[in-house]
Chains A and B, each alone.
Chain A
Amino acid sequence: MPVWEIIGPVMVGPSSSHTAGAAHIGRIVRMCWGGEIKKAALYMRGSFASTGAGHGTDKALVAGLMGMRPDDPGIRRAFGLAREAGLEFEFHTEEVAGAHPNSVRVVVTGEGRAMEAVGYSIGGGAVMLHKLDGFQVDISCALPAVIIMNRDVQGVVSAVTSYLSAHGVNIATMKLHRDSRGGLATMVIELDPAGADVDAEVMKNMHPGIVRVIKIEGED
């Protein structure tokens, strides 16, 4: 962590992992959903479940789902603001063996579709998006990124990397997962911030095997 991040982040208190991290996770879930969220169920695990109310973790998560950043003073009034914005939310707790102690599973529904994400807080306001719709992604969202869900067929990686190369975008890291040969696969690509402006719609049409493209903005 560089020196200016040790003095920071600028955040709404009282806890960098339980409040700032939670807001960050909510915001990432919103980016994955790709628009306004109208209904969400949140399943708190571990320390999020046991100390979340006292740390405002619940408010910070809801604030994040509305797109607020960890330093937004509106976090304190998040529940009221969510009601005004027509965001329905409910909290549950769950015990999951081996789950990260500061984690939450979020199920978003609406527009005839559903999405499930699991995120956790790793301290100092930093977080990981652990799973998305059952796929392990493990992405910190510190850098801009694209998550591509595709059928495991030949040529998808090449189509995607060609697109990035043609648009002058440099790949920082790249991870590939698949559930089975010929089944569903995900590609998680972190991009260098310079020139990271990619078009998710265009990328989706790069190859018939691509099912979904999710774009995640990095931190400022």
Chain B
Amino acid sequence: MLKAVEKIVALAEEKKISFPEAVIILDSKDSGIEAKEIRARMAERLADMRRSVKEACANEIPCRIEAPMGAKLRARGGGMAGEFIAAASATAMEVASYNAVMGRIVAAPTAGSCGIIPGMIFAWEFFRGGGKDTDELLTGALITAGAVGEVTAFRATLAGADGGCQAECGAAAAMGSAALVYLEGGSPPACAHAAAMTFKSVLGLVCDPVGGLVECPCIKRNGILVANGVLCADMALAGIESAIPLDEVIDSMGQIGRMMAPALRETSQGGLAVTQAAAEIVKRIGETGKLGG
């Protein structure tokens, strides 16, 4: 179990290797599993993730609360947020919608936040991966993202019921931002700074699903938090640093999660879940709210 990002960064700096290479050395030492095998397992995850995006974009099963959003955002084109973020966000919302209708996805780190990382890394591949061995690079990106998640699981939590949405969508965006810095050739410390700044942008984010379903506001939060992660990656690549180191930001996230009232942690007893509109939605979907056929 990786317990501190600081150790990964220190090892990478000392040996002059990339962030994911340092992760593999540490994880292999800890688990006894060969480096080659760890890389192979993550490459399989990448293949599953790629397939889930393809299926999600072709999915026609409607969600119960939310109408399809990905295609609408793509159709707007030339938006203020730019092509990269629009594409990443659209993919993230499609994958999250597919999850909501029991499609097969890769939990990254959870099912409720499964759109964010594929949204970010496949947008990177499309816009910036030309001419490179992207499978090799994206596998490294997932190892980078996974390491940030692993440390978060150890020091804080990745469960909405324990930490709110900062621990699910927030963690996914932080993991993805570190991955993007790696993909852009940024330094190991810059990977950590990007994740730290992303986490800082979601501290206190509550988990308040309408009707207890992984749909509203979950799908849109997948789409939105992609943007935080991408911007923080750009900031870190520009040399901007987080004054508070990533490990300590993660500690804060855990502390805030524990201080949050249970009503704001996936119980649907607070926040958006108890608005008048939410009550009407719950009444409307009523018995038809069951999943699948």
Interface: B214 (CB within 8 A): yes
For the complex, give the distance between the alpha carbons of A8 and B149 in Å.
Answer: 11
Contact of A11 with B158 in the complex, beta carbons under 8 Å: no
For the complex, give the distance between the alpha carbons of A8 and B114 in Å.
Answer: 9
Contact of B31 with A7 in the complex, beta carbons under 8 Å: no
Contact of B48 with A13 in the complex, beta carbons under 8 Å: no
**Chain B residues, CB < 8 A from A75:** 102, 292
Per-residue interface assignment for chain B, residues 102 to 123, with 1 indicating a CB less than 8 Å from any chain A CB and 0 otherwise: 1111111111101001000000
Residue of A nearest to B144 (CB): A3
Interface: B231 (CB within 8 A): no
How many residues of B are in contact with the other chain, CB < 8 A? Answer: 53
Interface: A205 (CB within 8 A): no
Contact of A4 with B146 in the complex, beta carbons under 8 Å: yes
Per-residue interface assignment for chain A, residues 144 to 173, with 1 indicating a CB less than 8 Å from any chain B CB and 0 otherwise: 000000000000000000000000000000
Contact of A13 with B102 in the complex, beta carbons under 8 Å: yes
Known: A6-B109, A7-B117, A20-B107. A56 touches B146 (CB 8 A): no
Interface: A24 (CB within 8 A): no
Contact of A4 with B102 in the complex, beta carbons under 8 Å: no
Contact of A2 with B106 in the complex, beta carbons under 8 Å: no
Say which one of B38-46, B69-77, B129-137, B235-243 lies at the interface with A. B38-46
Contact of A13 with B99 in the complex, beta carbons under 8 Å: yes
Contact of A7 with B214 in the complex, beta carbons under 8 Å: no
Residue of B nearest to A80 (CB): B293
Contact of A124 with B110 in the complex, beta carbons under 8 Å: yes
Interface: A51 (CB within 8 A): yes
Interface: B9 (CB within 8 A): no
**Chain B residues, CB < 8 A from A2:** 1, 27, 30-31, 33, 38, 150
28 A–B pairs (Cβ distance < 8 Å), ordered by A: A2-B31, A2-B150, A3-B23, A3-B150, A4-B41, A6-B145, A7-B42, A9-B107, A10-B45, A10-B105, A11-B105, A11-B111, A12-B102, A13-B214, A14-B215, A15-B214, A16-B107, A20-B107, A51-B213, A53-B291, A54-B290, A54-B291, A56-B292, A71-B104, A80-B293, A123-B159, A123-B161, A124-B110
